[in-house]
Structure 1
Amino acid sequence: MSDLVTIRAVIGTEPQLSITPQGLAVLKFRAVTHERKKDPETGQWVDAGTNWFSVSAFRGLAENGMESLEQGDHIVIIGKLQIRQFDRADGSRGTSADIEAFSFGHDLKFGTSHFTKVRTASGDIERSPHPSQIESRNHPMSENTGGSWPERDTDAA
């Protein structure tokens, strides 16, 4: 059985990208969630649990994730959770929490991010709006801040 989940986590291992013999890009990493709560009796912060997840992503998400993520990043993951039992080499049983990611990205509570669009399957680049279409006077690319809108080479790979 699998369930759709959304988690906030920290990437606990370096993401690893591999390509299957059929040409499918696969990204794998481990993610950890950690909660701390204030003990009402002592007023001290205490650990309230840690969960580890094996995360996998495929195709474009895998390729973009490899270019964007690194160990220690705070991210938000949306995907399909599957809890499974497995046998260890020593004969004991273990439990694994696996997430097949449908989407993930940086958790902006912990920092800023810069987004760069990539070509779609048809080879087109989705363009960002021209500065004149942006309402905010404080946007870094608006004329009011002296920013310039970068030109894109549509022939580049």
Structure 2
Amino acid sequence: MNETIVCVVGNVATPPVYRESAAGPSARFRLAVTARYWDREKSVWTDGHTNFFTVWANRQLAVNVAACVEVGQPLVVQGRLKVRTEVRDGQQQRASADIDAVTVGHDLARGTAAFQRTARPEPALTAARPEPDWETPRPAGPPDGAVAQQAPEPAVVT
């Protein structure tokens, strides 16, 4: 509930790594996000610090990322931010920032893309259940005041 949702715009730094597991498909890649600012003294845009995020995609998003994302492409990624710290070699502490992606898309401010909807697999056919009989049954006897008419008996052909 108290998750940190971020939206970052950057460039793909590594090719996506796609894996199939028992939990479903997953893909990961690194995204480089560089801050840009206007340098008033030089009157030019200047690159600031670059942050690198490991973007994780799961299920159908992972399949689509593996098929569409390439190194150098500008992307917009939205998802849950997770910062991890770990100790390496017993002395060096490292921090890494991961994004569990909810959505990934190309940045159309910097290029064009041709969207193609993925085909959904047909659901497995289940055994057909008979339709319930919702009709009201006819009364057994004739209505009040009506004379019952008997249907003629069918002729027997021998």
How high is the TM-score relative to the length of structure 2? 0.71
What CA distance in whole angstroms lies between the structure 2 residues aligned with 1:76 and 1:91?
A: 36
Deviations 1:62-81 (A, max 9, x none): 00111111111101001000
Give the percent of matched residue pairs that are identical in Structure 1 and Structure 2: 31
Note the C-alpha offset of 1:121. 5.0
What is residue 7 of structure 1 aligned with on the other side? 8
What CA distance in whole angstroms lies between the structure 1 residues aligned with 2:25 and 2:118?
A: 16
Counterpart AA for 2:17: Q
The within-5 A match list for 1:25-44 is: 25-44=25-44
Q: Secondary structure at the match of 2:65?
A: helix
Note the C-alpha offset of 1:122. 4.3
Note the C-alpha offset of 1:90. 5.8
Note the C-alpha offset of 1:38. 2.5
Q: Secondary structure at the match of 1:64?
A: helix
What CA distance in whole angstroms lies between the structure 1 residues aligned with 2:96 and 2:3?
A: 13
Note the C-alpha offset of 1:44. 4.1
Note the C-alpha offset of 1:9. 1.1
Runs of 4+ displaced beyond 4 Å: none
What CA distance in whole angstroms lies between the structure 2 residues aligned with 1:6 and 1:33?
A: 11
What CA distance in whole angstroms lies between the structure 2 residues aligned with 1:111 and 1:101?
A: 22
The within-5 A match list for 1:77-116 is: 77-89=77-89, 91-116=91-116
What is residue 145 of structure 1 aligned with on the other side? none
Q: Secondary structure at the match of 1:42?
A: coil
Asked if 1:62 is matched to 2:68, the reply is: no
What is residue 16 of structure 1 aligned with on the other side? 17
Where does structure 1 lack aligned partners over 5 or more consecutive residues?
Answer: 124-157
Deviations 1:37-64 (A, max 9, x none): 2222233443321110011000100001
> Is the 8 Å Cα contact of residues 2 and 83 (structure 1) preserved in structure 2?
no
How high is the TM-score relative to the length of structure 1? 0.71
The within-5 A match list for 1:135-146 is: none
What CA distance in whole angstroms lies between the structure 1 residues aligned with 2:115 and 2:105?
A: 10
Asked if 1:53 is matched to 2:83, the reply is: no
Where does structure 2 lack aligned partners over 5 or more consecutive residues?
Answer: 124-158
What CA distance in whole angstroms lies between the structure 1 residues aligned with 2:28 and 2:19?
A: 8
Aligned Cα RMSD in Å? 1.7
| Structure of larger gyration radius | 2
